[in-house]
Structure 1
Amino acid sequence: MDWLQLFLLHPVSLYQGAAFPFALLFNYLCAMDSFSTSARYLLLLAGGGALAWAAMGSFAVLVLLPALCAGVLISSLGPQDVHRWAFSFQMSWQTLCHLGLHYTEYYLQERPSGRFYITLSSLMLLTQRVTSLSLDICEGKVKAASRGIRGRSSIPEHLWKALPYFSYLLFFPALLGGSLCSFQRFQARVQGSSSLGPRCSLWALTWRGLQILGLECLKAVLRTVVGAGEGLSDCLQLQCICVMWSTAGLFKLTYYSCWILDDALLRAAGFGPELSQSPAGEGYTSDADIWTLETTHRISLFTRKWNQSTAEWLRRLVFQQGGARPLLQTFAFSAWWHGLHPGQVFGFLCWALMVQADYLIHTFANLSIRSRPMRLLYRIVTWAHTQLIIAYIMLAVEGRSLSSLWLLCNSYNSVFPVVYCILLFLLAKRKHTLN
């Protein structure tokens, strides 16, 4: 499959690895009293610009320009308006870039440049930081650095006051990947005293290196199995289940490896969990909770732990804002944020239904199943079903196109989400009758 090869050969990890020496250098310089706060902001900003240009080429303008505009908006607008305008501008810009991808892939029938895919990925992460910062200002967690262009300060002075915002939006350890770092956490690291600043743990980095090596070895073995077997277009009946499970496993290993690498880069720069020990530091959220993801028998728990910082961001940005059907709104927005490809729209809406079914199924089971052997059997069956449904959703989202989605829906794999949909209908009807 071309889309599978494209995903596996994604070169972001190479650029993340190349940024490691600079992250260690930044951590070392922060330990020097002579390295001022302004110099730290400038170094992170310059590193982000250099990394963007190296990884994206001329497409870097698509990230640098909205970051500049978002920084100006955030430093110019009042707390009551900043989130609405920043959110509208950033999502409009990102949507236009995704529409350019749609035009190239579906209308021109051409494969876009690999640098363009890196640009879109970085742009999605930029949207997280922009909206997180604007929400912090709107909620009073962060004090605006400027009262806007109506003040007496000159434009260069306004830009200098907005330097922490620009540095946060483009700081190089989080430009291409990594869990979402809040502005308060970022500021606590940059402005922290050198004597109290976090130290990079050599053992922590070594352990993550060993984890990445192990995951890459597993991925190489699984890639050989997937490459030697039949695809969804050629598989027969129950064989399609094995194809789906193994292909989804390859995707998972790739994500796990990337998340651990991103986590190691943030730690090397001093933005790891050690920062939480400082008075101003916030909690650190790691995206790769592999044990929970691979052992849970609940789709709802898998959803909260999969790419955990992004799940928490979506919860804050959409779910907690109120309105009718917040779960459906959250997954619909996630499909929009990812690009609104046909497979993504189907996959995220299916995911929302599966989470809703999961709540009802497990509530009913907890009330109905009493014996320990039956509970054990129930847990084993629901674990397998959860993993198969997640694999189904993952192939729909990663496949993206209508042709890949059609192959998936016409295979035996569609039985698993259909079972949960039937149980959702029956249990919802029973709940309504009891009420």
Structure 2
Amino acid sequence: MATETASTCTGSTLLQPISDIINLPLDQVNFVVCQLFALLTAVWFRLYLHPSKTSTFVRHVVATLLGFYLALFCFGWYALHFLVQSGLSYSIMIFAGLEHMHKYCFVVALGYLSFCQITRVYVFDYSMYSADFTGPMMVITQKITSLAFEIHDGLAKKEEQLSSSQRYLAVRRMPSLLEYLSYSCNFMGILAGPTCSYNDYMAFMEGTGYHSITEANGKENGKYKINHPSPKSDVISKLCTCVISLGVYLSIYKMVPVERSIDDSFISSTPFYQQVIYLYLSMLSLRPKYFFVWTLADAINNAAGFGFNGYTRQGVPRWDRISNLRIMDIEFATSFKTFLDNWNIQTALWLKRVCYERCPINPTAATFLLSAIWHGVYPGYYLTFLTGIAMTMAARAIRHNVRPHFQGSLTHQRIYDVITWAGTQVAICYTVVPFVLLAVETSLKFYKSWYFCIHLLCLLLVLVLPVKPRHLRAKEQQANSLEGDSQQADSGKHNHHSATDKNCNQKHKST
């Protein structure tokens, strides 16, 4: 198996003996070894290329060159696609007008990513290339498009036109080519991300990230303030999470493969409730693979000193600024939205910033569609995200119409949480089956075996339970806020008049 992979891997074959010994595909071995190398390099980068010891220019050069080296090691000359995509987008940023630059960059970056995904899957035989070079391109696409929108906000819009988050993210000057390549292709995130804002990355490279966050938390955590806290404990904790996640995935996933859910004998001989339990266990065993990859990527950035997010009330440093998931919040999510908000967090933020907050027509559907296009060209992705639209609308309807009836007591809240947890887990598993199976035929076979029951339930809930449009909900919240402010003001006036009357009475009595 490993020998066959050696001829198909597009990257270095230096680690082929290790691949043969542990019987894992060479591209996976290359990826893990490169990430471990990046982890060790990140520690060296933080200790010996600290902003207090060297210039920002040197840090950018080293981070960029190491990033391209890792890309070449894993993907060979296919890594040149990273340069082509970045170069095209940077040229647009420089030569296109600020008014429409962000739109052109968005179309070109996403279009080039889609072109590479189509050629990899449909032009070349997919089985020939086990190393998916479009994976890193997905993260680069996020960074390129985010930066284009941030530059547009900073240079082409007025302050009053921006939301508070957009003001924070806005980039006030055009990045140099070195800064741009360092941001998009640095060694800490070239293979698995996560994405981050340009301002956060530049603050890290210049060594100012600690100061701004420390000052913001200074009053609350004054006696705990440390200008450059160590990420050691968080890195070790995340590496332990990686080991556990990888062990769980390797030991359990093969015991409950998702493909068994569409096996004819399994469908015909297994009671439906057991099929539901099996599907949950199957997806539960699949998630640790993502836990491993994203947590390791987070640990690499933390080891380099990137990801500091202030202090807790107890004075403990937080290193979750660019974390991509919260495992416990995922496994115990009680709503579809909560699950999505804690899964692939940085991608969710990217979708929110470049699509949901800016799309004037049906932003929910547009966001899911963009997510499908960004993930790739397999039909299963589109089935998953189209189902996700229905799930989101149904979950929103339940929350607005059913949840208020369970808030009367703690017992009722607990009952509601248990029911919604079970419903959320089943809904998530049902939704992402096509994402794993990829093909239309197998995905529809699974849904047919379930009689499309959850699709029909979502449709029924959306039709029966009304939900106000987003702009009306926003107006209602604004009106409630203004009403609350008005009541407080009236209360203040009443108290003021009462105090005045009381003083007058006292003066009258004394007279």
Q: Which band: TM-score by shorter chain?
A: 0.7 to 0.9
249, 255, 259: which one aligns with 2:294? 259
Contact 1:72 1:162 in 2 (8 A): no
Closer, same or farther in 2 for the Cα pair 1:193/1:179, shift >3 Å? closer
State the Cα distance separating 1:75 from its structure 2 match. 3.5
Residue 45 of structure 1 contacts residue 166 of structure 1 at CA under 8 Å; is this kept in 2? yes
Larger relative contact order, structure 1 or 2 (CA cutoff 8 Å, min sep 6) = 1
How many residues in Structure 1 have an aligned counterpart in Structure 2? 403
Q: Which residue of 2 aligns with 1:344?
A: 381
Indicate the structure (1 or 2) with the bigger Cα radius of gyration: 2
Unaligned runs of 5+ in 1: 147-160
Matched, 1:127 2:141: yes
2:56 aligned with 1:40? no
How far apart are residue 72 of structure 1 and its match?
Answer: 3.0
CA distance in 1, matches of 2:127, 2:300: 30
Which of 319, 333, 352 in structure 1 is aligned with 2:356? 319
TM-score normalised by the chain length of structure 1: 0.84
Aligned to 2:130: 114
Cα distance in 1 between the residues matched to 2:410 and 2:198: 47
Q: CA deviation at 1:352?
A: 1.3
Q: Which of 232, 235, 252 lines up with 1:202 in the alignment?
A: 232
Q: 1:179-198, aligned counterparts within 5 Å?
A: 179-192=194-207, 198=228
**Aligned-pair CA distance for 1:371:** 5.6
Shift of 1:71: 2.6
Query: 1:330 Cα deviation (Å)?
Result: 0.5
418-427 or 36-45: which moved more? 418-427
Change in CA separation of 1:275 and 1:170 when aligned onto 2, cut-off 3 Å: farther
Q: Which amino acid aligns with 1:215?
A: S
Q: Report the secondary structure of 1:428's partner residue.
A: coil
The alpha-carbon distance between structure 1 residues 294 and 58, as it changes in their structure 2 partners (threshold 3 A), is same
What does residue 497 of structure 2 align with? none
Corresponding residue number in structure 2 for 1:220: 250
SS for the counterpart of 2:392 is helix
Cα distance in 1 between the residues matched to 2:193 and 2:311: 17
Q: What per-residue deviation string (whole Å, max 9, x for no partner) do you get for residues 58-91 of structure 1?
A: 2111112111222333244443232122112111
Correspondent of 1:30 among 44, 49, 58: 49
Alpha-carbon deviation of 1:224? 4.6
Alignment partner of 1:79: what SS?
A: coil
Contact 1:298 1:358 in 2 (8 A): yes
C-alpha displacement of 1:252:
1.2
Q: Contact (CA 8 Å) 2:307, 2:320: kept in 1 or not?
A: no
Q: Is 1:292–2:307 an aligned residue pair?
A: no
Alignment map for 1:28-427 (pairs within 5 Å) = 28-31=47-50, 33-104=52-123, 110-115=126-131, 117=132, 119-140=133-154, 141-145=170-174, 161-192=176-207, 198=228, 200-226=230-256, 230-233=260-263, 234-236=265-267, 237-238=271-272, 239-273=274-308, 284-369=321-406, 370=408, 372-412=410-450, 414-427=452-465
Letter in 2 for 1:246: L
Q: TM-score, normalised by structure 2?
A: 0.72
CA change 1:321–1:145 in 2 (3 A) is closer
DSSP 3-state at the match of 1:173: coil
Q: CA contact under 8 A between 2:396 and 2:467: conserved in structure 1?
A: no
Deviations 1:220-243 (A, max 9, x none): 342253159944224224243233
Residue 249 to residue 414, structure 1, CA distance change in 2 (3 Å):
farther
Structure 1 contact 67–166 (Cα < 8 Å) conserved: yes
Question: CA 1:193 to 1:285, structure 2 compared with 1: closer, same or farther past 3 Å?
Answer: closer
Structure 2 unaligned spans of 5+: 1-23, 155-169, 212-226, 313-318, 470-511
